[in-house]
Amino acid sequence: AQKVTQAQTEISVVEKEDVTLDCVYETRDTTYYLFWYKQPPSGELVFLIRRNSFDEQNEISGRYSWNFQKSTSSFNFTITASQVVDSAVYFCALKLTGGGNKLTFGTGTQLKVEL
């Protein structure tokens, strides 16, 4: 069975600080997909990124960057120069190939960015 662990329950930072959210996953499959979702107070999960297991290239999108390390089964998410609008719960998720979009989510990290 697969599992996603987000050990950081809550992180508080001051605006403009960089922050990294950790994600560690477990699966016996060699082919899989990893995701990050943002859940603002409205409750609607917002897709941020999808990465397949064959692509270990790091990705940057504006202030967001992701570091995928297959050797340590980690898929960490960094926000550079954090802003108050980044405050939300962030979820890491794993999907095996096949089976539609049946995702296994971690328990989430609550990020609070303060002025």
Residues that bind another protein (CB under 8 A): 4, 33, 35, 37, 42-47, 50, 91, 93, 95, 99-108
73-99 residues labelled b (16+ CB within 10 A) or e (exposed): bbbbbbbeebeeebbbbbbbbbbbeee
Closest approach of another protein to the CB of residue 51, in Å = 10
Nearer to another protein, 64 or 80 (CB): 64
Nearer to another protein, 80 or 107 (CB): 107
Is 113 exposed, middle or buried (CB count within 10 Å of its CB: 0-12, 13-18, 19+)? buried
* Closest by CA position to 49, among listed 57, 41, 37, 40: 37
Nearer to another protein, 14 or 47 (CB): 47
Closest approach of another protein to the CB of residue 21, in Å = 13
Closest approach of another protein to the CB of residue 4, in Å = 8
